[in-house]
């Protein structure tokens, strides 16, 4: 029988003690004496958030299919338990075995968003693992990072032994085989790391050194040994039907943010929005077959007991067999009283017809993501959405009985003018007026409610906008206040609500997104000053970060306020994602001219992703 790492007394004093006990449905228990490698998989946020992550579910299932590998889970303890663990010197532990993380061979940390970086240090600290990779010894786990933030790993490179660049299903087996073999042969930590650097997709930061120009820009990124390749190529799943997928997903004790079966129907996006990192780094588009998806749905619902299933992709409407897939799921789910969630659908006649059948119309709202308030700026960002599309979709929605509409926008996009800012409330006003024009008073099913929200633009690596400058916090707020004031002046102001993102967080995200290794000292200093759970609005304290920048002598404006020249070497240029820098630069130049690039199904733009030989790219099959 397992002995819990936390006493009953402690569990009774913390919020949601079920976060820390393990034993959930479909969790995996093994005899630790019978396995050759132990992997602690960490989502560096609270359990409720991490348990909804599909990537963790996929890799947990994949790793545990190997008899000689035991993958367990660990999450960031909420501040109440964090304090107790420090006071009583209780080491951080894995949920399944309740063993200390320090006893594992690997600590794998998924990096889903930049604001989790201080939580990475919390996990290392509570585990008793030295925060800096160069200070770790032979008995410490190898710390490996994966996930979207690894497309610029340099701000956190000092804290990791390895990074996995790409999709997790591809080369972990090779890494595990190599580690088991070398450990059994008595190899040192450094020997394992050098050997791992030879596996495609694995980046070992300690084997490289950055060099800087006098003005602070990156001059060179130099491999320090023959084992370290000049370029680290992203690895991808080429056949989605053959890729592992959890048919018995973990079912948490605490209700997670995503409390349902998730059905990943495709990877990649054909649209080519110039601000969107995911749309570039997940190229080319690769789909699961209709037959495979229906089989996964059958097994996952039966193996979990969930009463809801959700489609997952960057743009579900672009899946080739979306109509028969939705029809098949509706037939199955109506028989078994299972709800269907259909995010990422374009608002067209087909989508509205489907949603009217699977949602409670009175309770649902429809979502549009124009991103910009004017057609000029939507062309700059290559959104591929016209005002005619928006108005047509809204009219269809209103006639279908919907009265609640959500709009998502961005402020601070490259070339943005005051007319673009005012265009946000003016567009919402036209949609509200459309409701009154289209729907006779006696047929209206409630009042029109429009909610608009705007985030502030952050230029991300491997996007055409990676050369763009940001704005200062005060300028972002000025623009948001202009939009808010313009909303108040609209005829239908009472039917519209506007909110905007935190400007301090945006600026910090910009530093992390395009930072280099010099940012690591700032992250460490902010953690020492008490920064933790920065992704939570109520926990974020910008004063700590400003103090950290000051203490480290680092100017955040260097990373956010410069428009990059075309020839500048980026900290992430050593990574090859398949999509070429030349293509990104062409797209930046087209953006400056307001030229729209066709989507991938209309015309191949020669981005470079065809080099993977899969998906919808020429020569790649479907």
CA nearest 566: which of 281, 217, 271?
Answer: 217
The answer on pLDDT for 144 being more than 50 is yes
Domains of the chain are 359-501 (3.20.20.70), 575-612 (no CATH)
Output the pLDDT for position 175: 98
Q: What pLDDT digit, counting tens, does each position of 261-304 carry?
A: 999 999 999 999 999 999 999 999 999 999 999 999 999 999 88
Mean pLDDT of 106-122: 98
Q: How confident is the model at residue 1 (pLDDT cuts 50, 70, 90)?
A: low
Residue 505's Cα: distance from chain center in Å? 16
Output the pLDDT for position 346: 78
Mean pLDDT of 195-200: 98
Output the pLDDT for position 363: 46
Mean pLDDT of 467-490: 97
Q: Percent of the chain beyond pLDDT 90?
A: 86
The answer on pLDDT for 69 being more than 80 is yes
Output the pLDDT for position 336: 84
The answer on pLDDT for 454 being more than 60 is yes
Beta bridge partners of 397: none
Output the pLDDT for position 364: 61
* Pairing verdict, β 162-164 and 202-203: antiparallel
**Spatial distance between the Cα atoms of 208 and 516, rounded to a whole number of angstroms:** 13
Side-chain-side CA neighbours of 448 within 13 Å: the count stands at 26
Q: How confident is the model at residue 361 (pLDDT cuts 50, 70, 90)?
A: very low
**Spatial distance between the Cα atoms of 492 and 489, rounded to a whole number of angstroms:** 9
The answer on pLDDT for 564 being more than 50 is yes
Q: How confident is the model at residue 360 (pLDDT cuts 50, 70, 90)?
A: low
Output the pLDDT for position 619: 76
CA nearest 427: which of 456, 387, 395?
Answer: 387
Comparing 234-248, 349-363, 520-534, 539-553, the range with the smallest average pLDDT is 349-363
Comparing 335-349, 364-378, 543-557, the range with the smallest average pLDDT is 335-349
Output the pLDDT for position 622: 53
Q: What pLDDT digit, counting tens, does each position of 83-102 carry?
A: 999 999 999 999 999 999 99
Residue 231's Cα: distance from chain center in Å? 23
Cβ distance 72 to 30 under 8 Å?
A: no
Cβ distance 431 to 387 under 8 Å?
A: no
Q: How confident is the model at residue 356 (pLDDT cuts 50, 70, 90)?
A: confident
**Spatial distance between the Cα atoms of 189 and 211, rounded to a whole number of angstroms:** 26
Query: What average pLDDT does the structure give for the chain?
Result: 94
Q: CA torsion sign, 455 to 461 to 463 to 466? A: positive
3-state secondary structure 431-493: HHHHHHHHCCHHHCCCCCEEEEEEEECCCCCCCHHHHCCCCCHHHHHHHHHHHHHHHHCCCCH
Q: CA torsion sign, 429 to 434 to 439 to 442? A: positive
The answer on pLDDT for 362 being more than 60 is no
Q: What are phi and psi of 388, to 5 degrees?
A: -60, -40
Q: What pLDDT digit, counting tens, does each position of 364-422 carry?
A: 678 889 999 999 999 999 998 899 999 999 998 898 888 999 999 999 999 999 999 99
- Whether the pTM exceeds 0.85: the reply is yes
- H or E element in which residue 499 lies: strand 496-500
The answer on pLDDT for 342 being more than 90 is no
CA nearest 391: which of 344, 438, 354, 345?
Answer: 438
Mean pLDDT of 433-450: 92
Beta bridge partners of 202: 164
């Amino acid at each position: 029988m397992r002995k819990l790492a936390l006493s009953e007394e402690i569990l009774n004093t913390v919020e949601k003690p079920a976060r820390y006990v393990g034993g959930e449905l479909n969790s995996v228990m093994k005899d630790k004496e019978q396995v050759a490698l132990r992997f602690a998989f960490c989502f560096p946020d609270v359990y409720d958030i991490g348990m909804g992550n599909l990537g963790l579910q996929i890799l947990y299932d994949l790793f545990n299919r190997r008899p000689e590998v035991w993958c367990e889970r660990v999450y960031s303890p909420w501040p109440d338990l964090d304090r107790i663990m420090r006071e009583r010197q209780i080491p951080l532990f894995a949920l399944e075995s309740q063993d200390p993380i320090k006893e594992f061979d690997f600590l794998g940390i998924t990096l889903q968003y930049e604001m989790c970086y201080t939580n990475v240090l919390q996990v290392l600290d509570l585990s008793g693992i030295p925060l800096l990779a160069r200070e770790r010894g032979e008995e410490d786990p190898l710390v490996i990072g994966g996930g979207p933030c690894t497309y610029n790993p340099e701000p956190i490179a000092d804290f990791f032994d390895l990074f996995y660049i790409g999709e997790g299903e591809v080369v972990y087996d090779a890494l595990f085989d190599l580690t088991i073999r070398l450990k059994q042969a008595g190899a040192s930590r450094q020997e394992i790391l050098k050997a791992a650097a030879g596996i495609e997709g694995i980046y070992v930061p300690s084997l490289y050194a950055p060099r800087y120009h006098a003005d602070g820009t990156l001059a060179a990124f130099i491999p320090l040994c023959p084992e370290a390749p000049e370029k680290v190529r992203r690895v991808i799943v080429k056949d989605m039907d053959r890729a592992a997928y959890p048919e018995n997903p973990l079912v948490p004790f605490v209700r997670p943010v995503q409390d349902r079966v998730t059905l990943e129907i495709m990877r990649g996006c054909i649209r080519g929005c110039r601000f969107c990192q995911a749309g570039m780094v997940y190229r080319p588009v690769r789909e699961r077959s209709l037959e495979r998806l229906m089989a996964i749905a059958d097994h996952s619902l039966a193996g979990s007991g969930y009463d809801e299933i959700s489609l997952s992709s960057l743009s579900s409407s672009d899946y080739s067999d979306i109509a028969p897939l939705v029809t098949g799921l509706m037939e199955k789910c109506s028989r078994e009283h299972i709800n269907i969630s259909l995010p990422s659908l374009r608002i067209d006649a087909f989508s509205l017809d489907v949603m009217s059948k699977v949602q409670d119309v009175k309770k649902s709202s429809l979502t549009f993501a124009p991103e910009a308030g004017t057609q000029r700026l939507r062309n700059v960002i290559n959104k591929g959405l016209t005002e005619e599309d928006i108005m047509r979709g809204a009219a269809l929605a209103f006639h279908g009985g919907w009265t609640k509409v959500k709009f998502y926008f961005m402020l601070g996009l490259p070339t943005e003018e005051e007319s673009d800012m005012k265009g946000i409330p003016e567009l919402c006003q036209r949609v509200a007026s459309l409701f009154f024009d289209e729907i006779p008073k006696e047929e209206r099913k409630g009042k029109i409610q429009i909610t608009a929200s705007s985030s502030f633009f952050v230029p991300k690596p491997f996007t055409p906008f990676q050369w763009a400058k940001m704005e200062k916090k005060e300028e972002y707020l000025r623009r948001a206040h202009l939009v808010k004031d313009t909303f108040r002046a609209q005829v239908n102001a009472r039917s519209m609500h506007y909110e905007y993102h935190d400007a301090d967080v945006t600026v910090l995200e910009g530093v992390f997104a395009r930072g280099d290794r010099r940012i690591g000292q700032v992250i460490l200093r902010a953690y020492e000053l008490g920064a933790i759970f920065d992704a939570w609005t109520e926990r974020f304290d910008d004063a700590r970060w400003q103090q950290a920048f000051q203490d480290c002598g680092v100017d955040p404006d260097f990373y956010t306020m410069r428009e990059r020249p075309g020839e500048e070497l980026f900290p992430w240029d050593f990574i090859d994602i398949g999509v070429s820098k030349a293509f990104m630069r062409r797209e930046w130049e087209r953006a400056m001219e307001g030229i729209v690039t066709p989507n991938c199904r209309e015309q191949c733009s020669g981005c470079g992703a065809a080099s993977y030989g899969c998906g919808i790219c020429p020569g790649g099959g479907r």
